[in-house]
Structure 1
Amino acid sequence: MSERPTAFGADEKRLGTYLKDRRGRLDPATFGFPPGRRRTPGLRREEVAQRAAISPTWYAWLEQGRGGGPSAQVLDRIAQALMLTEPEREHLFLLGLGRPPEARYRKDGGVTPRLQRVLDTLEPTPALIRTATWDVVAWNQAATVLLSDFGAAPPGERNMLRFIFLDPGMRAAYDHWEGVARFVVSAFRADVARAGAAAEVERLVEELSRESPEFKAMWRDHEVHSHVEGVKQIRHPVLGRIAFEYSAFAVDSRPDLSLLIYNPTTREDAERIAGMVGPSPARNLK
């Protein structure tokens, strides 16, 4: 990271203006800084730099539009120093790097009643929400019918990899289980790395490596793939063969969560699923 001044550009100016505005909204006393005699409200530049563990000169250049392009790590430290909310942090990255930040792992993976209602509205199309570490935190009834009874598993064991490798029913649902499992492992590895959650999945990886020789071998291959969309076919014990297209979507304001929708490829398959999906359970409408 260079600390030499660079040309003053439009992007740098917008970044500097935003930083100055956020800095001016903070109360120095909240962070233990003496109020003293301040010409302007908020924290001083050197105080933000101190909280972000960066050079005061470098931070001053950023506000003046002369600091060049900051790294994602620097922007993350500045976001923490300025106590930015998730939307504010995303805006900071868009100004500083031209892209949103990568998804960050959050231990609290619960969903709001509103997100659950979105899943229920998608009936009879199976849909679920998973974390960056592939824990299933919400699903609709169609997902229970087509994929697995997630609610029957203890909350701490509702992980997609655990279902794929340790659930005989899910293993039997795929004609080419090994190919599906290998792809899931490679996509899981990519998502975990992107979220910086390697430490959080160590116990899961150890458990699966111990319980499943197939997982242990696949994990050692270090393959990486994205898991955005595709086509799958399963063999359901009651409905028979079902083909569906799956798509993954980011959840607005929760980049650590993904919404997965499994759309049947034919009207006949959709009608068969709908025939097994009863009325949705009552949800909190607050």
Structure 2
Amino acid sequence: MQSQLNQRRELGAFLRSRRERITPDEVGLPHSGRRRTPGLRREELALLAGISATWYTYLEQGRDIRASEQVLDALASALRLDRHERGHLFQLAGHAAAAETEEPEPLAAEVAAVPLLLQPRPAYIIGGNYDVLSHNRAADELFPDLTANTPDRPANFARWVFLEPAARTVLVDWEPEARGLLARLRTLAGRHPGDPRYTRLIDELSAGSSEVRAWWPRYDVQARHGGRKRLRLPGPGVIEFAYTAFHLAEQPEQTLVIYSEHRESAD
């Protein structure tokens, strides 16, 4: 019951954050005097989506009502959600299979060994809440102090990015990297409303990082993906790495991440 209440609150917070980022000019609405809040008013969004303003208000307030897929589609269009945000909206509204909120199963020994087999390429496996479940020596060298942990405080990539001073030196593009990571954490936390693995981590990050306190209420969401990172290393200096993310078949929220130096192909 508490989990459902938390999920309804998450849905309301997500809708409100997306409503507040759209201006009337963007959707062709006339100016109507001074506004006390940023973005669209609730009744304006309801009009754009073709639904009752009162009903939409109840939805944003987290009341115990269920939105149909047609209504969610209309809201997603009116809010101009991208495909990841749309999927997150449907997830929070109960129209997608939510992952269990139990502790994840331990990593099988043969899976935990994969990063070791990939040495000397940096590799690690992270859980849904960014706990580092397995890693190799090259990952230690790439991300100093990432895997330093204690029995009651496991290594965690999000904690390293926001709370470890070395991260701001190693990650050349720290702010966009940190924003993207927080958006991905927000997506995963939305699938586990009330799960202490996420609430404890988010509370810790918020307490220690002014950026998390500022960015978390924006409710940015993003799926995990591969890409490139510019890292500053002792000796060689700044090197651009390509990284690839693989989701494990039995535990899709656990992800194997592999790094390699990015080299432009010759013409």
Are 1:128 and 2:99 counterparts?
no
CA contact (8 A) 1:189 1:224 kept: yes
Change (3 A) 1:255 1:176: closer
Residue 192 of structure 1 pairs with residue 189 of structure 2: yes
The 1:109/1:134 distance shift into structure 2, 3 A limit, reads farther
- Tell me which amino acid in the other structure corresponds to 1:265: H
Q: Pick closer, same or farther for the CA change 1:248–1:181 going to 2, 3 Å.
A: same
2:171 aligns to what?
174
How far did 1:153 drift? 2.1
Q: Give the TM-score of the pair, scaled to structure 1.
A: 0.53
Q: Secondary structure at the match of 2:182?
A: helix
**1:238 alignment partner in structure 2:** 235
- Kept after mapping to 1: 8 A contact 2:147/2:156: no
Q: Which residue of 2 aligns with 1:258?
A: 255
Counterpart in the other structure of 2:217: 220
2:228 and 2:240 in contact (8 A); partners too: yes
Deviation at 1:196, TM superposition (A): 5.2
Instruction: Work out which of the residue numbers 160, 168, 193 in structure 1 matches 2:157.
Output: 160
Q: What secondary structure sits across from 1:123 in the alignment? A: coil
1:222 deviation in Å? 0.6
Contact 1:174 1:234 in 2 (8 A): yes
Query: Contact 1:103–1:255 (CA<8 Å) still a contact in 2?
Result: no
Q: SS of the residue aligned with 2:139? A: helix
Q: Is the 8 A contact 1:103 1:132 kept in 2?
A: no
Q: Does 1:107 align with 2:121?
A: no
The answer to whether the Cα contact below 8 Å between 2:173 and 2:230 also exists between their aligned partners in 1 is no
RMSD: 2.3
**What residue is the counterpart of 1:275 in the other structure?**
none
Q: Distance in 2 between matches of 1:127 and 1:185?
A: 21
- Residue 209 of structure 1: which of 196, 206, 209 is its match? 206
Question: What are the ranges of 5 or more consecutive residues in structure 1 without an aligned counterpart?
Answer: 1-99, 268-286
Distance 2:255 2:98 in 1: 13
Question: Conserved in 2, the CA contact under 8 Å of 1:128 and 1:261?
Answer: yes
Separation (CA, whole Å) in 1 of partners of 2:145 and 2:108: 21
Identity of aligned residues (%): 31
Contact 1:129 1:260 in 2 (8 A): yes
Structure 2 residue runs of 5 or longer lacking an equivalent are: 1-95
For the structure 1 residues 247 and 197, does the alpha-carbon distance in structure 2 shift closer, same or farther, using more than 3 Å as the test? farther
